[in-house]
Structure 1
Amino acid sequence: MSDVALSQTIGVFVQHHRLNQNRSQEEVANAAGISRSTLSLLERGEKVTLSTLLQVLRVLDLLYVMDVFKVDHSISPLEYARLQKQARKKATGKRKDQEHKTDLGW
């Protein structure tokens, strides 16, 4: 998809959800702290700032769409296997040389 097509898709998405919530452009724009004309630009797929998009998504309770950008910090299976190999398997008891030192009071 081209940048223009993506912008238009986002605009249609925002407009669709705004209308489904039965909210006017004026109402959403005021709640988002932007002008009505800026919201109109967004809905038509024109250039707006990322900040403006986020404000409108927040007002429409649509920030969940940003979840696709979250990075899952997980370790690979190979790294996990290496960590498991290094993990202690047993607890060690006192060594005889340690017992001797405690008997002498050191």
Structure 2
Amino acid sequence: MLSTNELKNYASLRGLSLRDIEAYCDLTAGHISQILNGERPLTEDNHRKIANAINAAYAAKLNGTFKRSPLDENKNAVKDSDGGDDTKPVPKGRKTPASK
């Protein structure tokens, strides 16, 4: 199993960004980033998903079928769901401004 640094280098050497990897995996770019930066644990399942996505994205680049995920108005990748309306749920965040 590759370490997080080795996975980062593996993707980087192939010219792939987090968004490129995200397009070929069911993890978001933010989640992948947190894993690769050590903010979330690297599980065997996530390792497999990320490594497979890197391989798939690189293969697609080589054979000319590579495409990035479309982005919504907030520049978040829009994932194809189970035949839904191709929209991403609104992320939850603070509802009031931060106090000073």
Give the TM-score band, short-chain normalised.
0.3 to 0.5
In terms of Rg, which structure is larger? 1
TM-score (norm 1): 0.44
- TM-score in terms of structure 2 length: 0.47
Instruction: Specify which structure has the higher proportion of helix.
Output: 1
